[in-house]
Chains A and B, each alone.
Chain A
Amino acid sequence: ETGVTQTPRHLVMGMTNKKSLKCEQHLGHNAMYWYKQSAKKPLELMFVYSLEERVENNSVPSRFSPECPNSSHLFLHLHTLQPEDSALYLCASSISGGATDTQYFGPGTRLTVL
């Protein structure tokens, strides 16, 4: 499944680093999502972009900063993270307002904060 790609697949960073996660969808969708999955916990929605506008921000700390420059690309900028931010970060996309809004997920970025 290569409809939604994420890079890097694995990332190790220190608490003072700045890094970015990238998501790209090749499905012609116009809504994109960031989810976080911590160990042994369900997926949690972080951000939703629809038609390149942020429509939902689920009380996420400001050390996570999303960016959606166009309908095919989504970034998650990370700075001064904490060890408890270590998790699998998943990107998804869907068609907003269409006949179906099924979300399709990327493979995720496994983030470790030291």
Chain B
Amino acid sequence: DAKTTQPPSMDCAEGRAANLPCNHSTISGNEYVYWYRQIHSQGPQYIIHGLKNNETNEMASLIITEDRKSSTLILPHATLRDTAVYYCIVRVRKNQGGKLIFGQGTELSVKP
């Protein structure tokens, strides 16, 4: 599975959009981009995933560049409860259960 690079930390003002970048320059054609977050000492929470088209759900939007070498997770109106570590993971979806390889992630601090 391809390796990802994320900034170790970011700050965001409450109510503003949080844009979290991820580089995955070695991604292959059949690898998806997944985003999870982990609030302190809790289990990771699935946010969104995509292959090459931009995706949006009730939590966030995922923007993937045309060459698929990078992506951005957008939280449109960040709240204090969005403070967490955000993980960008690229992986192939497998028939027998595919593992997630977590990196260090980006620690997002939403400030009042």
Residues of A within 8 A of B (CB): 1, 4, 6, 31, 33, 42-45, 48-50, 55-56, 88, 90, 92, 94, 96-97, 100-108, 110
Contact = CB atoms under 8 A, between A and B. Distances in A.
Range class of the B interface residue count: 20 to 34
A-B pairs with lowest CB-CB distance, top 8: A105-B43, A31-B97, A43-B102, A42-B102, A50-B97, A50-B96, A97-B95, A45-B99
Contacts of A6: 43
A48 B99 CA distance: 8
Contacts of A96: 95-97
A55 B43 contact: no
Nearest to A41: B104
Contacts of A90: 43-44
B103 interface: yes
Contacts, number: 61
Interface of A is mostly: strand
A97 B94 CA distance: 7
B97 A105 contact: no
Contacts of B44: 43, 90, 92, 105
A96 B45 CA distance: 19
